[in-house]
Amino acid sequence: MPEHDGLWTKIPDSATLQNMKKAELNELCDVLRQIMIETVSQNGGHLASNLGVVELTVALHRAFRFPKDQVVWDVGHQCYTHKLLTGRAEVFHTLRQEGGITGFPSPAESETDCFITGHSSTSVSAANGLAKAKKITGDDGYVIAVMGDGALTGGLAYEGLSNAGRSHDRLIVILNDNRMSINQNVGFVARHLAKLRIRRRYLRFKQVFGKAINHIPLVGAALYRFVSGQKDQFKRRLYRSSTMFEEMGFHYLGPIDGHNIASLDEALRSAKNLERPVLLHVLTTKGKGCDYAIKNPAIYHGVGKFDITTGQTAAPSTSFSTVFGQQLQKFAAEDDRICAVTAAMTDGTGLKDFAAAYPSRFFDVGIAEEHGVTFCSGMAQGGLRPVFAVYSTFLQRCSDQLLNDTALLNSHVVLAVDRAGIVPDDGETHQGIFDVPLLNAVPQMTVFSPATFEELELQLKQALYDVKGPVAVRYPKGVPLTSAAEFAPTERAYTYLRADGAKTLLITYGRISANVLEAAKYLTKNGRPTSVLKLNCIKPIDPKCVELALSHYHVHFFEESAPVGGVGERFGNLLAHNEFARHYTVHAIKENPGVCTVASGLHKAGLDTEGILQAVGGDVL
């Protein structure tokens, strides 16, 4: 266990938390931060974002009673303090470890986690639904949505705000503004008025004044409209953000110092007393309490292990993401039609250097994957060659845009699908096991799946220049499996490794081709000749691949994807249409593996060498 082994005992229960004094609360916040820093330094995780909401979370737990009241954390990478305050402090050292607690909210862990969140901009819609359920069922509890300002780059956030603001429910949206992206500089007067506006005496006076002035005979209503109009004009000058939210139906409070628990206490009490949709604007510092996280919030937003004293992280190793970025930059140097697009994942997708080298051809669209796809389709229709680098799990948001805005036009959009297959550490919301079924359903779509860095370089070139219409190149996080190096890169749609006298054929694609090859070699060596068919292009399936499979008696398909709608299912249908009446099986990922390493995830799914041998009836290594 980490050094904070004894610190968790200093975390109070809910009843004690309500009565703690200012000094005690500040000490508690220090303890919470220390636990988080020590744990993330060992396990990796989202550090800067969690350090920024410590006081806010403590204030929430003082103002509300969970789980009767409910809180939805947008994206979920702000929930560490919440986990520590809801009975998980003793096991917090297991964060993001297999069999431990996840890095995101999980109802399976605690009844105080009311909603699974791992993708951005969803909190207000979810909270709107939870609040409506409370109203209909007669539950007088409150629902709180905590969203970062980055979530406002996603369109779903505005859909939720638009609907929730006119709901008349006990819903509080907390805008955690840690970049000052909405209010550049509010000034002394604005800060002073913000303090006044959250005081209960002011709110009561406002309600009484409104009723009184409206009851003045003949002129009351007109006078009230005039006074309100003058007030709104003044507010627009001071609070450029408040107008937007108030026009959506919210009562706007703020901006509030998100590191002052006394101010937060007062603001949250005022928000509760209004008993209507409230937007509470809170200003926080990302990485608060940790110097190196404050100086480099992007690096410590999502970080691997690091030296807790210096903050030094491990030197980045070459990965599929970095190879993609390097190769795309080479193509861009020779072709000024090539543009790169990402959805708030510049570093993660390997595009940092591309962005620096070609700023006029690089576009970060924010957390707006749907827009990213349609934006790329528009560029393609205009004669450019856009490449949209997106994590597999986030591509799930784009089915409508892929079908209607891209495939119907046969736009030449290149999707660089990162984090395909098993993704370590982040859990069920980030596993890349559904992009293959999604892409299989898109007409005109071509899909490549490299197993090595060399194949990625070649297939990216093919995607850019040899394919018409939409095309995807999907690749995993990290590095290839070692045995994959035996597959020589080829422009052909498949690689066939024949064993003399083989009646058994193993078919696969992507990273696990290495495990399939290792299993086939073992079987052949032990008297059961086994051939391997590796698909380099998984959509469309080359007819020659079907011919090769028809010549074998036992055909086993292995894929690092969900089975329904997968390549194995489609391949089996093609065999059936060709009246294949022999032995055919599909082995895929039947259950979301949750938090795991790549090795353990593949083992659970039976996609490591041992599992493949068991599936085909061979002796276990």
The residues annotated with a catalytic role in the active site are 286, 369, 397
DSSP state of 402: I
Tell which residue, 488, 510, 504, has the closest CA to residue 549.
504
40 within 8 A of 304, measured Cβ to Cβ: no
Tokens of 315: 């030197």
Q: For 598, how many CA atoms within 13 A lie in the half-sphere containing its CB? A: 15
Rounded CA gap, 457 and 350, in Å?
14
Q: What share of the chain is helix, strand, coil (3-state, %, to 5)?
A: 45, 15, 40
Write out the DSSP string of 241-307: HHHHHHHTTPEEEEEEETT-HHHHHHHHHHHHHH-S-EEEEEE--TTTT-HHHHH-TTTTTSB--B-
Q: Is the dihedral of CA 344, 349, 352, 355 positive or negative?
A: negative
Rounded CA gap, 616 and 508, in Å?
14
- Amino acid identity for residue 42 in this structure: Q
Rounded CA gap, 244 and 283, in Å?
18
CA dihedral 115, 133, 69, 51 (to 10 degrees): 30
Please state the φ and ψ torsions of residue 205, each to the nearest 5 degrees: -60, -40
**Alpha helices, DSSP H, located in 84-151:** 123-137
65 within 8 A of 121, measured Cβ to Cβ: no
452 within 8 A of 488, measured Cβ to Cβ: no
CA dihedral 33, 34, 39, 41 (to 10 degrees): 100
